Amino acid sequence: MPFSSLLASRSKTDHAKQLKEYFTVIENEQDKERKNYEDAIKNIHKTLIALKDGLFGPRDGSSEPAISDVSQLCSGIYSQELMTTMINNLSRVTFEDRKEIVAIFNNLLRRQVGAKYPAVDHIMQRPGILFKLIEGYDNADIALNCGMMLRECIRVQELADIILKSPDFYKFFDYVQKSTFDIASDAFATFKDLLTKHKSLCADFLERNYDSFFNRYRDLLNSENYVTRRQSLKILSTIILENANLSILKKFSCEIDKFILIYGLFPSEAFSLNTKSGIMTNPMTTSAFDIYKREVFDLFKLLGELLLDRYNFSVMTKYITNTDNLKQQMNLLKEKSKNIQFEAFHVFKIFVANPTKPKAISDILLRNREKLIDFLTTFHTDRTDDEQFNDEKAYLIKQISELKDTKA
């Protein structure tokens, strides 16, 4: 491309400065002539292409961009505040140029100088850039472009932190419910990245904002919109299941079953052995099932640090001790959508597997014991080749059938 080669010979800083000037023209929309505006739009296109070629290298792949040229170009972009300017003018440029801006923006975010990421530092000092991108979901023309740039930003923990700590985060509860399918879907992808990308950050956020978050999240799970229900349940199960690996839990349960089989023959000696090992704490508990239950819980506690992630643990335990959550999941279990049923099963199973269920949770499960057993027995029987699911289902049926009545 002769044009790009011609422009490349000039100083790279001039591109950024020129672009800034052209954007200033289209920003002052009211007091300008039509021809100036159209000329500026054309010049913006040309300069964006030159900027992009400068960052990416020529399109024909003939060479890599020179390091010094790229550094100069990037410095010019930052000094001219072009990131802010490009985002502010996203709705004014053409369809193709919006994509050029996305490509430039995302390329800048990935650029590393030594151990530092200049673009990340730049945005951290100007969090308005993030909030402006979130606002983009309100404009159908630029929503998807902003979504792409947002998800690129969320890749960086410090930037995700800024969004999670701002009230703008709660706008996503509205964006994911938009009637426009593609915008809502894009918002869901961004929403999911915010809640799952950085485990410790997300866990911390959910812990501190448990009530405000989950009160609004229940509305998503009750939405009229099928995709909203299905996608939000999927994100929830990802959050909750982060630290509840039932297959590992089950493996130890199986070991304990063998243990109990032997102990079952000699209850008093079983009691003695437990005190010897230092595990048993309650001398009033004598039945085999109580020993089994306590063993499971002790193993859960002791091995949790080693075997299970600790992220979201407190959020999970808080979630599964709330009766409204159990009721909602049990209702989602009998949704007409099989996919929603299946996702709800994965959340529901944690309520049942919890070794320290509150009485209120146990009471609900007990009241519905027969119905649950019948329901689970016939639940998704077509998944014959999903071994883990069938194991989990059998485990739940066993757990529910062995629930004990506890007196008030």
Residues that bind other proteins (CB under 8 A): 56-57, 59, 61, 95-96, 99, 103, 106-107, 109-111, 144, 179, 181-182, 185-186, 188-189, 225-227, 230-231, 234, 323, 327, 330-331, 334, 336-339, 364, 367-368, 371, 375
Q: How far is 198 from 200, CA to CA, in rounded Å?
A: 6
Q: Which residue, 57 or 127, has its beta carbon nearer to other proteins?
A: 57
Closest residue by Cα to residue 225 from 289, 171, 162, 179: 179
Helices (H), 197-266: 199-208, 210-221, 226-241, 246-263
| Closer to other proteins by Cβ: residue 52 or 92 | 52
Helix (H, G, I), strand (E, B) or coil at 116: strand
Any residues with CB less than 8 A from the CB of 267 and at least 6 apart, and which? 286, 287, 288
> Shortest approach of other proteins to residue 385 CB, angstroms?
13
Which ranges in 320-358 belong to alpha helices (H)?
A: 323-333, 338-353
Give the shortest CB-337-to-other proteins separation in angstroms.
6
Q: From the CB of residue 361, how many other CB atoms can be counted at a distance below 10 Å?
A: 19
* Secondary structure class of 377 (helix, strand, coil): helix
- C-beta of 128: minimal distance to other proteins in Å? 23
The two tokens of residue 290 are 């109580």
Nearer to other proteins, 187 or 240 (CB): 187
Q: Which is nearer to other proteins, 59 or 310 (CB)?
A: 59
> What Å distances lie between residue 310 and 239, 263, 305, 316, CA to CA?
12, 32, 7, 10
Q: How far is the CB of 204 from other proteins (least distance, A)?
A: 25
User: Considering beta carbons, is residue 144 or 280 the nearer one to other proteins?
Assistant: 144
For the bound state, the minimum distance from the C-beta of residue 29 to other proteins, rounded and expressed in Å, comes to 24
| Smallest separation (angstroms) from other proteins to the CB of 144 | 5
CB of 152 to other proteins, least distance (A): 8
Dihedral over Cα of 84, 86, 88, 90: its sign:
negative
Q: How far apart are CA 317 and CA 268, in angstroms?
A: 33
Nearer residue to other proteins within complex by CB, 33 or 60: 60
Would you say 95 or 211 has its CB closer to other proteins? 95
